[in-house]
Amino acid sequence: MIEDAWARASIGTNRPGVAYMTLRNTGTDPVTLVGLETPLAMMPDIHETTTDSNGVSSMGPVGEINISPGESVSLEPGGMHAMLMRLQAKMIEGETFQLTLNFADGGTLTVDVPIFGIAALGPEG
Ligand SMILES: [Cu+2]
């Protein structure tokens, strides 16, 4: 299940958008998140921000995310995030969009993601 999904408003469409959430595996089998889909962006992907020993941060695709039964994985500012590349529309505060998560077993889960302000830090805005 997905908890506390949220996203930040975007300035325009020529920079990627970003969304965060917590994924909790409430089942008895491990699940693997393999990809994202959304009508809002042509190339959504899961990224992770890492900071090297010089304090320089960069980000890149993380590929698959494995979640054991009873475990949860958080996508949050400074860590993993859903990167929404090639936005098809501006992300406007107060609106929501649909994000579909694709799992390795062929299952999908679609969540409505509310869009908060451009400087929001969490699901409370
Ligand atoms: Cu990113």
Q: Which residues of the chain have pLDDT under 70?
A: 125
pLDDT tens digits, 104-121: 999 999 999 999 999 898
Domain count, the chain: 1
Query: Is the residue at 65 inside a domain?
Result: yes
pLDDT tens digits, 26-42: 999 999 999 999 999 99
HSE-up (13 A, CA, CB side) for residue 107: 8
Query: Is the residue at 123 inside a domain?
Result: no
CA of 101 to the centre of ligand 1 (A): 17
Query: Is the residue at 125 inside a domain?
Result: no
CA of 43 to the centre of ligand 1 (A): 11
CA of 30 to the centre of ligand 1 (A): 25
What pLDDT score was predicted for residue 125? Answer: 55
Residues, Cβ < 5 Å to ion ligand 1: 47, 59, 83
Query: Is the residue at 121 inside a domain?
Result: no
Contact in structure between 81 and 46 (CB atoms under 8 Å): yes
Range of the domain at 58: 2-116
> Which residues, 6 or more positions from 59, have their beta carbon under 8 angstroms from its beta carbon?
47, 48, 49, 50, 81, 83
CA of 120 to the centre of ligand 1 (A): 16
On average, the pLDDT of the chain sits at 93
What pLDDT score was predicted for residue 121? Answer: 87
What is the 3-state composition of the chain as percent helix, strand, coil, each rounded to the nearest 5? 0, 55, 45
Q: How many residues are present in the chain?
A: 125
The CATH number linked to 21 is 2.60.40.1890
CA of 72 to the centre of ligand 1 (A): 20
